[in-house]
A and B are shown apart, each in its own frame.
Chain A
Amino acid sequence: MAAVRAPRIPVEERLFSLVLALLATDAGLTKTEILSTVQGYRQKYVAGGDNAALERQFERDKDDIRELGVPLETVDDPSAAGDNHLLRYRILRGDYELPLDISFSPEETALLTLAGMVWREGTLSAESRRALLKLRSLGGAASVPELDYAPRVRSRDAAFEPLRTALDRGVVVRFDYLKPGQAAPRRREVAPFALVQHQGRWMVSVVEPDTSARKNFLLSRIVGPVTVTAKAFARPADATADSALEGLDLLWEQNTATVRAAPGSDARTRLGARRGTRAQDDDVLLVHYSDRQVLAEELTSFGPEVVVLAPAELRALVADRLRDLAADHAAPPVPAPGEAVS
């Protein structure tokens, strides 16, 4: 039935009806069957006419539904493989439903709720909200923890989202990367395999396709946009987020700097509380780090409370930063009005 004035069907009703229809079919439905019979499409379908716009809408709806984790699959007609018009669509119940043996105790539900809260800012917030909806769907109540927690992890680097897309697609990316101390950024073409936050900073762990070498890049040093290419790359089985974090922890353990921090100062307390720090003396600390430049920034911010003793490169970095800072602030940026001109 080709309605001339179709009633407005809300988007969620069309998507819901599509999921129901595809769950109810074993053999699958062809695109024409879907467009001509499913609520939300059938109202706009023109029998024997041009349905190009409707077909494009169906393509987008499929992507949106898959985005929710619904395994919408396509089945070739055995007698006409590759014929797009005979392609059938369906959602297999076993792939759609949460396995029956998966359930969560009130303590687990409470932990997962807290884990979802971690992402309440930024790009992962929509996903954790949906995950928590599904958790609620299972019916379990959450136990209330004694102590109120409000944990938060942010993912505001502009490079985060395109890199995550590349991770999910398993493809190579291109970006410009500015190494501290270098005048200009350098173009990199790498295969990302994990996004990890270490010591509060997001890094992308990659494999260099040419050399197979594994490296980490700080997201904050990526300059300009990240290009997600179509070049596929198979992630080696041992290239995981956990292995990337282990590598960074190892670096952290291997690299140490010796600093003098004034006793009783804020620097002494905070550097003393840092992971792995050892006190050699009342005021001399051995602190660990994974990136020299990042540590230099942190140590500089303690100002006169800290002096770097070793290594020499770190000492020079901090001293240079402090001298630059003093020079940058020595004079007003523009002549103050009313200043005498000689």
Chain B
Amino acid sequence: MTDRRPSLHATDKLAFLLSLVPWLIDHERVSVAEAAAHFGVGVADIRRAVELIAVSGVPGDTAQYQHADLFDIAWDDFEQNDVIVLTNLVAIDDTPRFSAREAAALIAGLQYLSSLPEHADRGAVASLMSKLSRGASGEPSQVAVAQDETSEVVALVREAVERGVQLEFDYAGVRGLVERRRVDPLRVESLDADWYLRGWDHLREALRTFRLDRIASPALTEARITHRASDLSLPDTLFEGSPDDLDVVVEIDAAAAPLLDDYRPVDVEDAGDGRARLTLRVGHVGTVARLVSGLPGRARVVSSDHARRAVADWAAEAAARYDD
């Protein structure tokens, strides 16, 4: 018989069972569909879990798992009406505590978000964090993410959404041209310390992503929004490729290669000597210079020749300002 280590999957399923039982106890009679919606899982997951719970229990005095030692459900209701009613309970009453790591993940997440307008009440956040600590089975690990002031832009975005009006602001594109943009705000996203606004851009008549720290002179307008987040499907990736994108090959120390993950390299190959070559798709050669110059690990554009020369010219122009 093979003794395989239970996959993460099995422990996740256990966490689900231990969470589902107390909820079912509180909801004496509940439909499978309602349970699925509440836990954000499929109805089949709920049915499988309930079937397992219904035959589980404790060995009991006889060590034989007698009927009274097992959970039980109203089988007719379950099989005919898709309704869950627990008729016999064993061992479990209440929700389990958070593990130290689970509590730490939520606490660090809260801290990261504490500059959002939703967090205006600092005292409420502090009390929420202390509740998580008290509800953990061990001392939460010391993991924290500094909150950055997300500037007043987020507050203004939120106000625009509440009032249903367009937001306008000055924005510099990659080519350095500043334009006044009018946007229907759809979602605020972040990646570590960088914050973005995704919205419908009335100037470009398309979905666009804007860096919050590039937005200047934002203001609410009187114009009603014409696009809502619920009407559009926003792609998961912040930046979308276009058929006009250029392929560039960048060589970098292999250890620093993961820093380019966001650019979704289409190809990665070993270049020897601890170096890696990555093929990236970029929208504009101007982007390439900014990209490779900010990376550790002596990044270098290998091709195209056009991109390489663009970086050389850009760097030479910048370096010339340091010639005393």
Contact = CB atoms under 8 A, between A and B. Distances in A.
Contacts of A241: 108, 142-144
Interface of B: 1, 3, 5-8, 10-20, 22-23, 26-27, 38-40, 52-53, 56-59, 63, 65, 90-110, 112-113, 116, 118-119, 124-125, 128, 131, 134-138, 141-146, 148-149, 151, 157-158, 161-162, 172, 176, 178, 185-194, 211-216, 229, 251, 255-256, 258-259, 261, 289-296, 298, 300-302, 305, 308-309, 311-312, 314-319, 321-322
Interface string A141-162: 0000111111111101110000
B14 A303 contact: no
Contacts of B189: 149-152
A136 B38 contact: yes
A69 B213 contact: no
B14 A297 contact: no
Contacts of A307: 321-322
Interface string A243-262: 01100110000000000000
Interface stretch (A37-45, A75-83, A209-217, A226-234): A37-45
A286 B270 CA distance: 42
A112 B128 contact: yes
B301 A329 contact: yes
A196 B144 contact: yes
Contact of A148 (B103, B229, B308): B229
Nearest to B103: A131
B322 A245 contact: no
Contacts of B92: 20, 23
A193 interface: yes
Interface of A: 6, 10-13, 15-17, 19-21, 23-24, 36-39, 44, 53, 56-57, 60-61, 64-65, 67-71, 93, 95-100, 102, 104, 108, 110-112, 114-119, 124, 126-131, 133-134, 136-139, 145-154, 156-158, 164, 167-168, 180, 193-201, 220-221, 223, 235, 239-242, 244-245, 248-249, 264-266, 269-270, 273-275, 297-298, 300-304, 306-307, 315, 318-319, 321-326, 328-330, 332-333, 336
A298 to B, nearest CB: 6
A208 to B, nearest CB: 17
B5 A168 contact: no
Nearest to A168: B141
Interface centre among A53, A137, A306 (most CB of B within 10 A): A137
B134 A119 contact: no
B113 A115 contact: yes
Contacts of A95: 97, 137
Contacts of B311: 325, 329
A60 B3 CA distance: 10
Given A97-B94, A134-B102, A167 B137 contact: no
Contact of B192 (A126, A148, A200): A200
Contacts of B101: 69, 124, 127, 164, 168
B106 A115 contact: yes
Closest 4 CB pairs of A and B: A69-B99, A115-B109, A301-B294, A200-B193
